[in-house]
Structure 1
């Protein structure tokens, strides 16, 4: 490139990101016609090894007496050069001149004045109104697209002007004025701007053409996609939003009639790219899309009943896989899911009680329940979520190991903290039914039959029951 302007690294990007690629136009436009800048990112989402950034900018200044009767369009080729630690900008324009005596149009191509470049990227802020830029379209491009645009500029210069010092080339104003030159450069950079209608004042002047193009790029358009489905008929997807080169590109919404879902967010080259919100039925998914697919990690799912999940989902079905969910009643669960149902993790209830364990079909199957007072319960559950056997540990040192029925002891061993043991069956009120009670330190046991205790073991020493190993709790889950 023939370098006209060199600035510190980042100056060009800063000017673009802060929408200051246009200079002051206070003397040129009324308050109702505020200068506008539109940025379109045509870079493919592949990280650059060098980190360099490339820009092609189409800008215009308005008509002004003694400067330009029609206004003028310029092309800026900008690069953030990481290796050289600098911002480089070249300015080009195809300047149309008219000989009033011969009425022959001449187009003079060349590097634009340095002042134009400086004001375009707001390095200076000359408010004299001489060459202030107004509207502009900033195109972020990959290196290949940048080189294509640059090659076109160079080939245009060599083929039409011969060289930079060659005499001006006489051409027709309609075919190659400054606006058409700028439009062709944008085309080589990968952006198709609307056709210029010479019979429509709103697109004739450079600034008007730029503003019309910006409105087209920014305004919503509707695209409908048809595809064959598993049933007779057509599956329809409809996109409404910003469109570039006939593709969804920018902010928009995609509606899928096959499942009733909508995706609202940013699109690039026809597919979702960046932050988006997907909705279907009673669930809303907030996440990040890449090449049309959601990044399954760090996703937030909100349900209509008020439950909120954060974590990892299945990239295809959007069902929960691993993370934390908070239910409307205050219950939280942190763990894994299967087909959207709790599988293995830890639940915390509003009462501060917790459960850790395994789930099957969304209901407990095995785990450990803990109370704030220190009691714990390691147990197994039936298919309906009712515990059937396990070990209940009391904070005072007592514990029971055995089976349960309807939440009560059924058959097992109760170990007292003083060393006493009861082994047998229990009544519905958790009192001994049939079994033996061995007081701590005593060689004989008291025998229970139908809830009644005998005075002694009849002189027969009854072996002291030994405790079987309690079930060990595992990390667990809960479901709403």
Structure 2
């Protein structure tokens, strides 16, 4: 009887060790829902999510990591780098509208240097932060207008130069996509204004120069000369 008890104890000890290892092994090699290629945990694989998103690429510790392609139900697609399950590194995102972004990503957002081509053919090339145009960059509109300068939260803000397709230019300060602060506007006919601006209009102290050499200096308001200083 004593020998039988020893045998039972040995069996219990063995099972205590083996069963957890077995269960752990099963968990390690079990596939997550939607995995159709590989094990979708380590190395190459393919997974189809219930919301229609499909990812084909490499995995690390069960997360998208490395090179991969992702497609959405609406036809949008991303090809590039992933890190810890998010878009990170270099990649290209193409929308069904025809818009496309090619450049750097971080934490699933456009971040760093990149080029965004809009459906109408307009192109922005420059810096992004948290998905928005921020920092320095150049925007070329389909109609030929071009802005080179600073951006903040997707808007022209800070120092910048706008060149219109008709030959007019403005160099100076911007805020919320409008000329605001100190700046110089030069018309293609030779006239120019150097001074203060507010919401896209001459406003404040400035000087308006004519092509014959004469000029008007003083205070402007809402685009019109108000009085001499």
**TM-score normalised over the length of structure 1:** 0.35
**Aligned position for 1:243:** 38
State which of 109, 122, 135 in structure 2 corresponds to 1:331.
Answer: 122
RMSD: 3.5
Structure 2 unmatched runs, 5+? 1-28
**Aligned position for 2:188:** 395
**CA shift digits 1:6-45 (9 cap, x unpaired):** xxxxxxxxxxxxxxxxxxxxxxxxxxxxxxxxxxxxxxxx
SS at match of 1:319: strand
Cα deviation for residue 356 of structure 1 reads: 1.0
State which of 38, 47, 53 in structure 2 corresponds to 1:253.
Answer: 47
Say whether 1:414 aligns with 2:208.
Answer: yes
**Aligned position for 1:216:** none
Q: Distance in 2 between matches of 1:281 and 1:242?
A: 19
SS at match of 2:190: coil
Cα deviation for residue 252 of structure 1 reads: 1.5
Q: Distance in 1 between matches of 2:130 and 2:212?
A: 48
1:107-118 equivalence runs, <5 A: none
SS at match of 2:211: coil
**Aligned position for 2:132:** 341
Cα deviation for residue 251 of structure 1 reads: 4.2
Cα deviation for residue 264 of structure 1 reads: 1.7
Contact 1:286–1:301, Cα closer than 8 Å, also in 2: yes
**Aligned position for 1:313:** 105
Q: Distance in 2 between matches of 1:273 and 1:381?
A: 40
1:105-144 equivalence runs, <5 A: none
Contact 1:241–1:248, Cα closer than 8 Å, also in 2: no
Relative contact order higher in (CA < 8 Å, ≥ 6 apart):
1
Contact 2:133–2:151, Cα closer than 8 Å, also in 1: yes
The 3 A distance-change label for structure 1 pair 397 and 326 is: same
Q: Distance in 2 between matches of 1:375 and 1:248?
A: 58
Structure 1 unmatched runs, 5+? 1-220, 225-237, 437-480
Contact 2:100–2:116, Cα closer than 8 Å, also in 1: yes
Say whether 1:287 aligns with 2:95.
Answer: no
**Aligned position for 1:433:** 226
The 3 A distance-change label for structure 1 pair 222 and 302 is: farther
Contact 2:45–2:59, Cα closer than 8 Å, also in 1: no
SS at match of 1:328: coil
Say whether 1:223 aligns with 2:16.
Answer: no
Cα deviation for residue 239 of structure 1 reads: 4.5
SS at match of 1:395: coil
Contact 1:222–1:239, Cα closer than 8 Å, also in 2: no
Say whether 1:353 aligns with 2:161.
Answer: no
The 3 A distance-change label for structure 1 pair 363 and 268 is: closer
Q: Number of aligned residue pairs: give it.
A: 195
Q: Distance in 2 between matches of 1:426 and 1:273?
A: 58
Cα deviation for residue 350 of structure 1 reads: 0.9
SS at match of 2:142: coil
Q: Distance in 2 between matches of 1:364 and 1:381?
A: 6
Cα deviation for residue 326 of structure 1 reads: 0.9
Q: Distance in 1 between matches of 2:154 and 2:214?
A: 39
Please state which structure has a larger fraction of its residues in strand: 2
**TM-score normalised over the length of structure 2:** 0.68
The 3 A distance-change label for structure 1 pair 281 and 387 is: farther
The 3 A distance-change label for structure 1 pair 268 and 375 is: closer
Say whether 1:385 aligns with 2:180.
Answer: no
Contact 1:242–1:248, Cα closer than 8 Å, also in 2: no
State which of 399, 424, 429 in structure 1 corresponds to 2:218.
Answer: 424
